[in-house]
A and B are shown apart, each in its own frame.
Chain A
Amino acid sequence: MDLSVIFKNAPFMLGGLILSFQLAAITIIAGLILGIVLASARLSSKSVFYYPATIYIHFFRGLPLILVIFWLYFLAPVILGTSVNEFTAAALAFVVFEAAYFAEIVRSGIQAVPFGQVMAAHSTGLSPLQTARFVVIPQALRNMVPALVTQSVVVFQDTSLGYVIGLREFLRRVNLTDAREARSVELYLFAGLVYFSICSLGSRASRRLEKRRFEAD
C-alpha cells in the first residue's frame, strides 16, 4: 500500500468529481422535469398522450444505459448535423434515460394518493388545477421524495458510465491516474470509498425520509 499516490493526484481526480456532480445535477433536474411530463401523459385518459409516454418509458427501461449512451452518441450528430462533445452527449443520454425512471416514481407517487381525496376536493368546489395544486401534489410529493432521493444516488453512480465515451469525470480520471502510476489497488479502493461515502449519505437520507413518512401517516 502506497497512499502517497492518492494525495499526489488528488487535485486531478477531485476535478473529475466536480464534473460528475455537475452531470448528476443536470440529469436530476432535467430528468425530473421530463419525467413529470411523461408521468402526466401516462396518467392521461387520452390515448395520444398515454401510448407514446408508455412506449417511451418501457423502451428506455428495457435498455442498458451504456448502450443508450453509445446510441445517442452516434445518433446526435446525424440529427443535429454537427458533432457533439462528450459532456453534451453524456448529459443528453442520461436525461433521456433517467427520465423514464423518474416518470415511474412520479406516477406511483401520484397514484398512491387515494382517489377519494380528488373526489372530496371536487365536491368542496375546487377546480381541477386547485385540486392538483393543494390536494394531490403536496401528498404525492411526500410519497415520492424517498424514492427520488434513492434514484438521485443511482444517477450519481451512473455518471461513472460517462467513462465509455471518454468523458473525464471522476472514474475516468482515476483510471488515467492508474495508467500513469500503476497503483490499481490503492486507486480503485479510493474511488470506491469516495463513491461509497457520498452515496451512503444519500441512502441514509432516503431511509430517514421514508421513516418520517410512515410516522406522519
Chain B
Amino acid sequence: MGIFNYQFDWSVLWQEPYGRLMIKGILTTLHLSVLAWILAVIIGILIAMLRVAPRGSARFLGTGYVQIFRNTPLLVQLFFWYYAAPLLLPQTVQEWMYDNIPNYAYWAGVVGLGAYTASRVAEQFRAGFLAIPPDQYRAAYATGLTPFQTYRYVIIPFAFRVILPAFTTEFLTCFKNSALAMTIGVMETTHTAYYIDSFTWHGLETTTAASLVYLSIAIIIGVSMSALEKRLHIPGMIVRGS
C-alpha cells in the first residue's frame, strides 16, 4: 500500500512563504464570498419582487433571470464574466479597465458569484414573500404606505426572519462556490492549496488542510446563525432546534 510509503511533510503549511500564502488565501475566500453575498442579496430581493409582481411582464423578467442563472453551470458564468463580458464593452472602457482594475479576475469573481447566488436567493425571498398573508400587503396599502414602504417596513423585515434558516444554507453554498473563482486565477484557499503543490509536491497535505479550513468556517457560521435564528424568531413560529 502506497500510503505507507508516502512521506508526509505537514511543515509545508507553515513554512515561509507557504504559511503566509495560505492565510492570504483564506482571507480572500472570506471577503470574496461576503462581497458576492451582499451583491446576491440586493439583486435577489429585486428579482423576487419581480417574481411576485402583479404585472405579467415583470414576472416574466424575474422568472427568466432565475431560469438562465440556475440552468447554466457557475463555471460557464464565471468564464463569461471574465473572458467575454469585457469584450462587449466599448473599446475606451476596455482600455480604462485594463489600466485601472489590476485585479479584474477578483471583481469578475465577485460579480459572477453574486449574480449566480442572486438567482438562488431570489427563490428564497420569493418563498418568504409568499409565506406572508396577503392581508399584510392590503393592510399596509390601506394605511397609505407606498409599495416601496410596504416592502421596506412591513414585508422584508417579516420575510427576512422567515427565511433566515434558508439564508444560512445559501450563504454556505456561496462560501463553498467561491472556490470556483480559482479557475479564473483568483488566489483563494483552494487555489493556494493547489499552487503550493506545484512547488512542494505536497498537495495532499495542503488540500487536507484546506478541507479542514472550509469545514471549520462552515461550522462556526452554522452555529452562530442558529443562535441568531433563536434570538430573532417570530413568536408562534417553529424554530430549528427547539
Contacts and interface: CB of A to CB of B under 8 A. Distances in A.
Interface of A is mostly: helix
Interface residues of B, number: 44
Contacts of B83: 178, 184, 188
B211 interface: yes
Top 4 nearest A-B pairs by Cβ distance?
A81-B2, A64-B179, A199-B71, A184-B83
A91 B31 CA distance: 32
Given A67-B190, A164-B183, A192 B211 contact: no
Contacts of B71: 153, 195-196, 199-200, 203
A161 B75 contact: yes
A78 interface: yes
Contact of A66 (B67, B79, B180): B180
Interface stretch (B103-111, B134-142, B149-157, B202-210): B202-210
Among A79, A153, A163, A188, find the residue whose CB has the most chain B CB atoms closer than 10 A: A188
B214 A67 contact: yes
B119 interface: no
B87 interface: yes
A81 B4 CA distance: 10
B1 A81 contact: yes
B193 interface: yes
A171 B76 contact: yes
Nearest to A201: B71
B160 interface: no
A74 interface: yes
Interface string B61-85: 0000001101111111101100110
A200 B67 contact: yes
Contacts of A163: 75, 183
B3 interface: yes
B88 interface: yes
A80 interface: yes
Interface string A57-78: 0010011111110110111011
Contacts of B77: 192
Given A59-B215, A62-B215, A64-B176, A195 B6 contact: no
B84 A188 contact: yes
A192 B6 contact: no
Contact of A63 (B70, B76, B84, B211): B211
B76 A195 contact: yes
Given A171-B73, A189-B80, A195-B73, A70 B203 contact: yes
A64 B214 CA distance: 8
Interface in A151-187: 153, 157-158, 160-161, 163-164, 171, 175, 178, 184-185, 187
